[in-house]
Amino acid sequence: MTAVRTLVLWCPHWPVVAAGAAPTEPAVVVRANRVVAATPAARAEGVGAGQRRREAQGRCPAVVVHEHDEARDVRAFAAVAAALERYTPRIELSRAGTAAFPTRGPSRYFGGDTALAAAVWATVDDVMEEWGWAGTAGVGVADGPFPAALAAQAAASGMEVVEPGGSPSFLAPLPVGTLDRPDLADVLVRLGLRTLGAFGALDAADVVARFGADGRTAHRLARGLDERPPATSPPPRHLAVAADLDPPAERVDVAAFVAKGLADELHARLDADGLSCRRVVVTVETEQGEVHERVWRHEGALGPGAVADRVRWQLDGWLNGPTARRPTGGVVRLVISPDEVTAATGRQLGFWGGESAATERARRGLARVQGLLGPDAVTVPEPRGGRGPADQVGRVPAAAVDVGEPRSAPAGAAAPWPGRVPAPAPAVVPAAPAPVEVRDVEGRVVTVDGRGAMSAPPADIVLAGRDVGAVQAWAGPWPAEERWWDPEARRRRARLQLQLTDGRAVLVFVEGGRWWLEAVYD
């Protein structure tokens, strides 16, 4: 059975577009301390996706760093999705910057796939021009969303139309790395199967026997088919959930709270039938009869937290969007309907480690908070590289990691970091350093020169004019010069560990002739 003819719109720079950066401005968007998008000006300086923040700043000291905000990206992309509604009301969104829809009806109306692709590209280019990013979107048409997405990426800033039935030939010369399955691609390359054509030529039964269900899915994609055979019947009607809001909701958070309850109810119904959902249709209706509908797709299974997030993003993009597109009344009805369901594979619980009831409760608790406050409202600690204690641990959104899996520290966290304070780590690190004075036996403030030599041994420490205690022992100093390439962010400081006579220990540093309390040890 052939794949569904699909048009895919791809905006490769969307995170930096939504962040408000201009193409001529060196700027990046980072997530979990890694670059996820960069402007053309930053790329010209050697900055690319996947680099760590420090590496990007080293290659381009003038780069402007924006934190990743998925809600902001989706909210801004609502304008592009609204522009596509003139071609079809059923716009499918998988992530901000990418939209897709079947072309069967629109192509017949506009005179063929090529004419449709040209019209869509011109429409989106007009929207992108309003942000100053004209000519940066790609449109691809092919049999199935996977080859259509690759065609859009190949077009870069234009359009690419693959003839009907030509998807296998279009995919054949592409490397197996385009499947976005690094482990599988590594094995295939070692087996001598370097292209999608070579992989797709294998017998499906042999692929399943060697690589399992995920290999079967990748094999179908390599052959130009859909990930799974199309369902012959729609999902059962009893799976759809709906809620009437009285009084009408004028604010996003009020409607999102109701949506979280609907998402939990939908998940419970799917669990009862042994199903998981990969695509949902979210319909919002106002008291004035205005209807807003979006199709949301996910590569895996949409859990209750993911469904609630997408409803919130849709509401935010509509209720808080441009004035010309905002509804004239409050939301009175929410409907969430599963559009594509598959058999749930479940999760295997292990005797030692792995999944546990506590882990599952933690996931659900985090999903509830994220559904109410947004995906970036809940953060977890992540080890990072740095010299000071405040630099060695950062916070990343919980949505960016799997809280049930052990995480290893990034490679940069174990780097040498000259001037780094030796272990053990302090117990308390204040949000902001407190000013102190480190004095010698004669009451003079201790100084540290450029070579790291102190004017005199420390004798006591004074905080806010009050004597904290006498120094019994000390270690250091550890001088460090950071961000020497940036005149504004450059700093030179020297750290010192002090053990007081009452048994306490503190970490202080001197910068610009002034001492600061940075951390306290147990």
Instruction: Give the predicted TM-score (pTM) of the model.
Output: 0.62
13: pLDDT strictly greater than 50: yes
What confidence category does residue 8 fall into, taking pLDDT thresholds of 50, 70 and 90?
Answer: very high
Q: Rounded distance, CA 515 to CA 506, Å? A: 12
Condensed to tens digits (0 to 9), the pLDDT of residues 276-323 reads 787 888 899 998 888 888 888 876 667 787 888 888 888 888 887 777
Three-class SS string for 343-378?
Answer: ECCCCCCCCCCCCCHHHHHHHHHHHHHHHHHCCCCC
Task: Answer left, alpha or beta for residue 112, where phi above 0 means left and psi between -120 and 50 means alpha.
Answer: left
231: pLDDT strictly greater than 60: no
Domains of the chain: 172-222 (1.10.150), 241-346 (3.30.1490.100), 434-521 (no CATH)
57: pLDDT strictly greater than 80: yes
Between 108-112, 416-420, 476-480, the lowest mean confidence (pLDDT) is in 416-420
Condensed to tens digits (0 to 9), the pLDDT of residues 241-280 reads 899 988 888 888 888 888 888 888 888 888 888 887 878 8
What confidence category does residue 233 fall into, taking pLDDT thresholds of 50, 70 and 90?
Answer: low
Report the mean per-residue pLDDT for the chain. 81
For the residues 439-444, what does the mean pLDDT come to? 85
pLDDT of residue 355: 47
A 10 A CB-CB count for 195 gives: 17
77: pLDDT strictly greater than 50: yes
Between 346-350, 389-393, 414-418, the lowest mean confidence (pLDDT) is in 346-350
**Cis ω before 477 (30° cut-off from 0):** yes
A 10 A CB-CB count for 350 gives: 9
Q: Rounded distance, CA 241 to CA 358, Å? A: 28
Token pair belonging to 109: 């109306």
φ/ψ of residue 294, rounded to 5: -140, 150
For the residues 82-104, what does the mean pLDDT come to? 86
pLDDT of residue 232: 44
Q: Which residues pair with 142 in a beta bridge?
A: 6
pLDDT of residue 350: 47
Instruction: Give yes or no for a contact between 370 and 377, defined as CB atoms under 8 angstroms apart.
Output: yes
φ/ψ of residue 347, rounded to 5: -130, 135
Instruction: Give yes or no for a contact between 292 and 267, defined as CB atoms under 8 angstroms apart.
Output: no
Please name the helix (run of DSSP H) or strand (run of DSSP E) that holds residue 304, with its range, or none.
Answer: helix 304-319
Q: Rounded distance, CA 124 to CA 9, Å? A: 9
What confidence category does residue 404 fall into, taking pLDDT thresholds of 50, 70 and 90?
Answer: low
A 10 A CB-CB count for 64 gives: 16
Q: Rounded distance, CA 110 to CA 119, Å? A: 8
The more confidently predicted of residues 214 and 284 is 284
pLDDT of residue 370: 66
The more confidently predicted of residues 478 and 122 is 122
Beta strands at 241-249 and 64-67: parallel, antiparallel or unpaired:
unpaired
